[in-house]
Amino acid sequence: MRSANQIERRRQRRRRRRRRILSSGLYNTVMAASTADSWSWFPALALGVSFLKCLMINSYHSTDFEVHRNWLAITHSLPVSKWYHESTSEWTLDYPPLFAWFEYGLSHVAQHFDKKMLVVQNLGYASPATVLFQRLSVIATDVVFIYAVRECCRSVREEKGSKDLLVRPYFILAALLLWNYGLLIVDHIHFQYNGFLCGILLLSVARHLQVGNFITFPFEQGRHLEGAFLFAVLLNLKHIYLYIAPAYGIFLLRSYCFTKDNTDGSVRWSSLSLVRLIALGSIVISVCALSFGPFIAMGQLPQVLSRLFPFKRGLCHAYWAPNIWALYNVVDKALSVLGLRLKLLANLPKASMTGGLVQEFQHSVLPSVSPSATLICTLVSILPAVLSIWRCPRGARGFLRCLVVCALCSFMFGWHVHEKAILMAILPLSVLAVESREDAGIFLMLATTGHYSLFPLLFTATEMPTKVLLILLFTLYSFTSLKKLFRGFLLNTLEVTYLLGLIAVEIICEVVYPLLPWKQTLPFVTLLAKSVYCSLGVSYSFIRLYLSILRPTDKPKEL
Partner 1 sequence: AVYHSISALSSLHVQMLVKMLVCMQPVFLWAGKPPMFGDYEAQRHWQEITYNLPVHEWYFNTTDNNLNYWGLDYPPLTAYHSLLCGHVASLINPDWVELHTSQGFESSAHKLFMRATVLIADLLMYVPAVVLYCFYLSEGSNRKKVCLVLCILLYPGLILIDYGHFQYNSISLGLALWGVLGLGLGWDMLGSLAFVLAVNYKQMELYHSLPFFCYLLGKCFKQGMAGRGLFLLVKIAVTVLVTFTLCWLPFLTDPGQVLQVLHRLFPVGRGLFEDKVANTWCSLNVLIKIKTILSTDTQLYLSLAATLLAALPSSIKLLTKPTLWQFKLALVNSSLAFFLFSFQVHEKSILLPALPVCLLLGDLPLPAVWFLQASTFSMLPLFLKDGLFVPYAVTSSAFVFYSVYLLSALEHSSEEELRLRPVRRLVCLPRVDLGRIFYLSVAAMAGLSFMSVALAPPARLPDLFPLLVSVFSFLHFLGLLLYFNVVQIAEPPSPRRKNPKKTE
Q: CB under 8 A: which stretch of 247-255, 425-433, 437-445, 463-471 binds partner 1?
A: 463-471
Q: Cβ of residue 34: shortest distance to partner 1, in angstroms?
A: 17
- Indicate which single residue of 157, 484, 532, 549 sits in contact with partner 1 (rule: CB under 8 A): 484
Min separation Cβ 463 and partner 1, Å: 8
> Which of 85, 484 has the CB closer to partner 1?
484
User: Counting beta carbons within 10 angstroms of the beta carbon of residue 196, is it exposed (0 to 12), middle (13 to 18) or buried (19 or more)?
Assistant: buried
The binding track of 387-426 with respect to partner 1, each residue x by CB under 8 A or -, is ----------------------------------------
How many residues touch partner 1 (CB under 8 A)?
Answer: 29
Q: 344, 128, 144: which is closest to 233 by C-alpha?
A: 144
Does 134 engage in binding with partner 1 (CB under 8 A)?
no
Which one, 172 or 417, has the nearer CB to partner 1?
172
Phi, psi (5° rounding) for residue 193?
-110, 35
Count of H-run helices and E-run strands, the chain: 22, 0
CA 273 to CA 219: how far, in whole Å? 18
| Residue among 101, 477, 524, 540 that touches partner 1 (CB under 8 A) | 477
Check residue 126 for interaction with partner 1 (CB under 8 A).
Answer: no
Please, is 85 exposed, middle or buried when counting C-beta atoms within 10 Å of its C-beta (0-12, 13-18, 19+)?
A: middle
CB of 458 to partner 1, least distance (A): 12
Tell whether residue 494 is a contact of partner 1 (CB under 8 A): no
- Report the nearest approach of partner 1 to the CB of residue 185 (Å): 12
State how far the Cα of 465 lies from the Cα of 254, in Å rounded to an integer.
48
Q: Is 274 in the site for partner 1 (CB under 8 A)?
A: no
Q: Whose Cβ is closer to partner 1: residue 130's or residue 410's?
A: 130
Does residue 58 touch partner 1 according to CB under 8 A? yes
For position 57 contacting partner 1 by CB under 8 A, the verdict is: yes
Give the CA distances from residue 211 to residues 39, 396, 399, in Å, rounded to whole numbers and listed in that order.
22, 8, 13
Told to check if 39 binds partner 1 by CB under 8 A, we report no
- How far is it, in rounded angstroms, from Cα 148 to Cα 316? 32
- Virtual torsion, Cα 498, 504, 508, 512, nearest 10 deg: -160
Q: How far is the CB of 59 from partner 1 (least distance, A)?
A: 5
Distance, in Å, from the CA atom of 343 to the CA atom of 432, rounded to the nearest integer, reads: 51
Cβ 534 vs Cβ 322: under 8 Å: yes
Question: 469-476 long-range CB contacts below 8 Å, 24 or more apart?
Answer: 470/181, 470/184, 470/185, 471/181, 473/179, 473/181, 474/176, 474/179, 474/180, 474/181, 474/447, 475/181, 475/447, 475/448, 475/451
Cα radius of gyration rounded to whole Å, the chain:
26
Stretch that binds partner 1, among 21-29, 48-56, 196-204, 215-223 (CB under 8 A): 48-56
Residue 186 DSSP symbol: I
What phi and psi, each to the nearest 5 degrees, are found at residue 523? -70, -20
CB burial of 95-133 (b: ≥16 within 10 Å; e: otherwise) equals bbbbbbbbbbebbeebeebbeebbebebeebeeeebbeb
**Piece of 93-101, 357-365, 398-406, 468-476 that binds partner 1 (CB under 8 A):** 468-476
Nearer to partner 1 by Cβ, of 74 and 189: the residue is 189
Single-letter code of the amino acid located at 183: L
- Figure out which of the listed residues 461, 494, 511, 515 binds partner 1, where binding follows CB under 8 A: 461
**Rounded to the nearest whole angstrom, what is the least distance from the CB of residue 213 to partner 1 in the complex?**
28
Min CB(428)–partner 1 separation in Å: 24
By C-beta, is 167 or 305 nearer to partner 1?
A: 167
29 binds partner 1 (CB under 8 A): no
Q: Does 140 bind partner 1 (CB under 8 A)?
A: no
* Closer to partner 1 by Cβ: residue 180 or 481: 481
**Binding test (CB under 8 A) with partner 1, winner from 301, 351, 376, 473:** 473
| 462 forms part of the interface with partner 1 (CB under 8 A) | yes
Residue closest to 195 by CA, chosen among 239, 132, 144, 135: 144
Number of other residues whose CB lies within 10 A of the CB of residue 343? 7
Between 453 and 481, name the residue whose CB sits nearer to partner 1. 481
The residue type of 83 is W
Note whether 476 binds partner 1 by CB under 8 A: yes
DSSP notation for 278-292: HHHHHHHHHHHHHHH
Is residue 381 helix, strand or coil?
helix
Contact in structure between 293 and 305 (CB atoms under 8 Å): no
Nearer to partner 1, 377 or 485 (CB): 485
How near is the Cβ of 477 to partner 1 at its closest, in Å? 6
Residues 159 to 198 in contact with partner 1, rule: CB under 8 A: 164, 166-167
Q: Which stretch binds partner 1 (CB under 8 A): 52-60, 257-265, 436-444, 503-511?
A: 52-60
Q: How far apart (Å, rounded) are the C-alpha atoms in residues 331 and 539?
A: 15
Region of residue 487 (phi > 0: left; psi between -120 and 50: alpha; otherwise: beta): left
Verify binding: residue 503, partner 1, rule CB under 8 A.
Answer: no
Q: Which is nearer to partner 1, 132 or 308 (CB)?
A: 132
Contact between 439 and 404 (Cβ < 8 Å): no
Under rule CB under 8 A, residue 480 binds partner 1? yes
Instruction: Identify which range of 46-54, 150-158, 190-198, 439-447 contacts partner 1 by CB under 8 A.
Output: 46-54
Give the Cα separation of 403 and 477 in Å (integer): 25
Q: Interface with partner 1 includes 472 (CB under 8 A)?
A: yes
Query: CB 48 → partner 1: shortest distance, Å?
Result: 7
Backbone angles phi, psi at 358, to 5 degrees: -85, 130
Shortest Å, Cβ 110 to partner 1: 18
Chain residues that interact with partner 1, rule: CB under 8 A: 40, 44, 47-48, 51-52, 54-59, 164, 166-167, 461-463, 465-466, 469-470, 472-473, 476-477, 480-481, 484
